[in-house]
Amino acid sequence: MDSFVNYILSHPIALIILAVVTLLLVYFVVKGLLKLMLITGLVLIALCGYYYYKAPDEFPGNLREMASQVGDHGEGMIESGKKIIEKGKTLVDTVGESVTK
């Protein structure tokens, strides 16, 4: 690995080529993610339109119920994420103490 880094640092053309390849890779990944988000959004809009067309009187109630369910699940995920972060902090402190001993 050190020889690769030394080669890249001593040859600026290789560094430029590596940077261009990396930027192209990042560009295509971001482009793909944006395309996926756009398609998902369009599908969701189409589904909402279909459900509204199917039963316009029930649509606002269903939408509110779905939003409350998403909110409830989101709060649960946030709480479990906080617990995991706290466990990680205590684990890091424990490992740090054992290393210093």
- The pLDDT confidence band at residue 81, using thresholds 50, 70 and 90, is confident
Query: Mind listing the pLDDT tens digit for each residue in 19-35?
Result: 999 999 999 999 999 99
How many of the other CB atoms lie within 10 Å of CB of 43? 10
- d(C-alpha 94, C-alpha 96), whole Å: 5
**Percent of the chain at pLDDT above 90?**
24
Left (φ > 0), alpha (ψ -120 to 50) or beta: where does 25 sit?
alpha
Query: Mind listing the pLDDT tens digit for each residue in 84-94?
Result: 888 887 877 77
- The pLDDT confidence band at residue 101, using thresholds 50, 70 and 90, is low
- d(C-alpha 6, C-alpha 90), whole Å: 38
Spatial contact of 59 and 52, defined as CB atoms under 8 Å apart: yes
Spatial contact of 51 and 62, defined as CB atoms under 8 Å apart: yes
